[in-house]
């Protein structure tokens, strides 16, 4: 986090004072550090080996075009879950041949568009989806590249909303069913089975579930390859966690090291590794800056009522997530305990509970590690225009998304004239 640091009492992102950005674009606003993003990508690239495998950034973590463009420039691929994300990647200059398409509900139109663009692989999650993709590819005279997403039924030991690798989850195919489908590959004339895929959840802070998943999936992959199937890659999905509070996630190096080690142990060291990191690439690159409108004291509590709400950053409300909250300008005063709450009319609209802060109305706060699942999960709930996004690059900053206007809020709506 050296790109987010205090100089004396003022918080900087790289070479720019956060207060200067807030004074220019207003609050709330998202601010990203380009160099933090770069170094996160580089840690994956270095761990994997300069020429090996494919790092497919999970676009749903943060789909801003400027970030996608920066990652594309570093040679990233992309993991998408909708045509909207595909169009974003294309608009950002991303290479469609480095795109993998995940998700349980791909529509016909989405499949056609992805096939026409020549994406790297479809991660297919059910038999009906496989049948649909086969028919569409055949009709287009193509062979769709496919990985089956296997559900290894392992406990990712993360929040239940972001665990995806248990058999009761909607994701993936049971291993036995996937193996049976691979063995029938020849009967799908519109498909080319090129890999195996597995994504077991998000914000994993322990290597154990990754190892368990690989140890369940890889023996089957080995048997399929021995039976003559030309499976080129193993897609391990995303899910590597970060430290929001006091978690101790494995390093990228340890994570990639484990994958290589398990592949080698199963005699599959020659397979290409495909990764789909989202959070681990962008979370630490971003903060959400918010201004304190009021300090409100009740007999029970002291509230800092801020101008960002759960519509701007939903993780605390949705997952009970904890994100560090720091002042943009440190005051020498004594710290007091505050609940940092937004203006949205929901009791869940709490960004942080019981935080020790020395602040006054009019001050700005920074909510840390907000680069992933921040803006991308934001909404206009309570008719609140979404905040702008700013990218800092050294001494300069760029507005990479304008604050929405009240016109934006009402765009496309019509009152029927009777
Ligand atoms: C969400 C998701 C990812 C990214 O997960 P992170 O925890 O952000 O790394 C990768 N692959 C798939 C299929 C996903 O749904």
CA dist 59 and 61 (Å) reads 5
Nearest-CA neighbor of 38 among 403, 396, 391?
391
C-beta 121 within 6 A of ligand 1: no
pLDDT, position 189:
97
Boundary of a domain, candidates 242, 277, 312: 277
Across all residues in the chain, what is the average pLDDT? Answer: 96
Which CATH number does the domain housing residue 307 bear?
2.40.37.10
| 45: in domain | no
Q: Which of 277, 305, 336 is the last residue of a domain?
A: 277
Same domain, 314 and 386: yes
Nearest of 95, 188, 96, 79 to residue 144 by alpha carbon = 188
Residues 117 and 265 both lie in one domain = yes
Is residue 206 predicted with pLDDT exceeding 80? yes
Q: Supply the pLDDT for residue 324.
A: 98
* Residue 248 and residue 205 in contact, taking contact as beta carbons nearer than 8 Å: yes
Lowest mean pLDDT among 114-128, 147-161, 297-311, 399-413: 147-161
Whether residues 146 and 228 fall in one domain:
yes
Answer yes or no: is the C-beta of 278 below 6 A from any ligand 1 atom: yes
Could you tell me the distance, in angstroms and rounded to a whole number, from the CA of residue 123 to the centre of ligand 1? 12
CA of 59 to the centre of ligand 1 (A): 9
For position 155, what pLDDT does the model report? 84
Confidence of residue 170 (pLDDT cuts 50, 70, 90): confident
Q: Does residue 304 belong to any structural domain of this protein?
A: yes
**pLDDT value at residue 168:** 82
The per-residue pLDDT for 166 is 80
- Is residue 56 domain-resident? no
Query: 343 and 246 in one domain?
Result: no
Name the 3-class secondary structure at 370: coil
Task: Answer yes or no: is 252 within a domain.
Answer: yes
Question: Which residue segment(s) compose the domain that 312 sits in?
Answer: 4-32+283-410
151 C-beta closer than 6 A to ligand 1: no
Looking at the predicted structure, is the pLDDT value of residue 229 above 90?
Answer: yes
Q: What is the largest CA-CA distance in the chain?
A: 72
Report the alpha-carbon distance of residue 404 to residue 3 in Å, rounded: 27
Which pLDDT score is estimated for 411?
97
Ligand 1: does its nearest atom lie under 6 Å from the Cβ of 198?
A: no
Q: Which of 24-28, 164-168, 185-189 has the lowest mean pLDDT?
A: 164-168
Contact predicate 292/359, CB 8 Å: yes
pLDDT tens-digit readout, 239-292: 999 999 999 999 999 999 999 999 999 999 999 999 999 999 999 999 999 999
Cα of 228 to ligand 1 centre, how many Å?
Answer: 30
The CATH number of residue 88's host domain is: 3.20.20.10
Q: Write down the pLDDT at residue 157.
A: 77
In a domain, 371, yes or no: yes
40-71 pLDDT, tens per residue? 999 999 999 977 899 999 999 999 999 999 99
Output the CA 61–ligand 1 centroid distance in Å: 8
Domain boundary among 250, 277, 304: 277
121 is catalytic: no
Residues 91 and 191 grouped into a single domain: yes
Q: Report whether residue 60 contacts ligand 1, using a CB cutoff of 6 Å.
A: yes
Q: What is the pLDDT of residue 251?
A: 98
Task: Tell me which of 41, 76, 239, 371 to substitute to probe ligand 1's pocket, judged by most ligand atoms within 8 Å of the beta carbon.
Answer: 239
How far apart CA 53 and CA 277 sit, in angstroms, is 13
Tokens of 78: 């992309």
Q: Is residue 208 part of a domain?
A: yes
Q: What is the pLDDT of residues 4-46, one digit of tens each?
A: 999 999 999 999 999 999 999 999 999 999 999 999 999 999 9
**How many domains does one find in the chain?**
2
Question: Nearest-CA neighbor of 120 among 192, 213, 68?
Answer: 192
pLDDT band at 185 (very low <50, low <70, confident <90, very high): very high
Examine residue 292 and state whether it is found in any structural domain, yes or no. Answer: yes
Predicted confidence at residue 134, as pLDDT, reads: 98
Q: Are residues 329 and 233 part of one domain?
A: no
Q: Is there a domain that residue 18 lies in?
A: yes
pLDDT tier at 335 (50, 70, 90 boundaries)? very high
Asked if 263 and 136 sit in the same domain, the reply is yes
Residue 279 Cβ < 6 Å to ligand 1: yes
Task: Clarify whether residues 405 and 262 are in a common domain.
Answer: no
């Amino acid at each position: 986090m050296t790109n987010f640091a205090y100089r004396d009492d003022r918080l900087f992102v790289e070479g720019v004072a956060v207060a200067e950005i807030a004074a220019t674009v207003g609050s709330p606003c998202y601010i990203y550090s380009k160099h933090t993003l770069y170094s996160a990508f580089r840690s994956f690239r270095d761990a994997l080996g300069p020429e090996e495998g494919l790092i497919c950034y999970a676009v749903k973590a943060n789909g801003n075009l400027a970030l996608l463009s920066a990652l594309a420039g570093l040679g990233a691929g992309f993991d998408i879950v909708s045509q909207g994300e595909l169009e974003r990647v294309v608009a950002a200059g991303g290479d469609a041949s480095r795109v993998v398409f995940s998700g349980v509900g791909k529509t016909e139109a989405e499949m056609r568009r992805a096939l026409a663009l020549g994406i790297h692989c479809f991660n297919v999650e059910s038999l009906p989806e496989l049948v649909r993709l086969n028919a569409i590819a055949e009709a287009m005279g193509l062979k769709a590249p496919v990985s089956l997403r296997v559900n290894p039924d392992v406990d990712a030991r993360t929040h239940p909303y972001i665990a995806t690798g248990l058999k009761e989850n909607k994701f993936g195919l049971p291993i036995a069913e996937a193996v049976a489908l691979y063995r029938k590959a020849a009967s799908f004339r519109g498909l080319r089975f090129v890999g195996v895929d597995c994504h077991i959840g998000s914000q994993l802070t322990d290597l154990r579930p990754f190892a368990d998943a690989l140890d369940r999936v890889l023996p089957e992959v080995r048997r399929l390859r021995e039976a003559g199937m030309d499976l080129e890659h193993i897609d391990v999905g995303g899910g590597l966690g970060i430290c929001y509070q006091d978690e101790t996630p494995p390093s990228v190096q340890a994570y990639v090291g484990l994958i290589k080690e398990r592949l080698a142990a199963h005699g599959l060291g020659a397979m290409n590794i495909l990764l789909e990191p989202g959070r681990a690439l962008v979370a630490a690159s971003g903060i959400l800056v918010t201004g304190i409108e009021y300090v409100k004291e009740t007999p029970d509590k002291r509230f800092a009522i801020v101008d960002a709400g759960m519509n701007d950053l939903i993780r605390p409300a949705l997952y009970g997530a904890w994100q560090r909250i720091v002042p943009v300008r440190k005051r020498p005063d004594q710290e007091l305990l505050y609940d940092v709450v937004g203006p949205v009319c929901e009791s869940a609209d709490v960004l942080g509970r019981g935080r020790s802060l020395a602040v006054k109305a009019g001050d700005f706060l920074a909510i840390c590690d907000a680069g992933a699942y921040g803006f991308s999960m934001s909404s206009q709930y309570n008719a609140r225009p979404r905040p702008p996004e700013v990218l800092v690059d050294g001494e300069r900053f760029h507005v990479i998304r304008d604050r929405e206007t009240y016109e934006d809020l009402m765009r496309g709506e019509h009152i029927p004239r009777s």
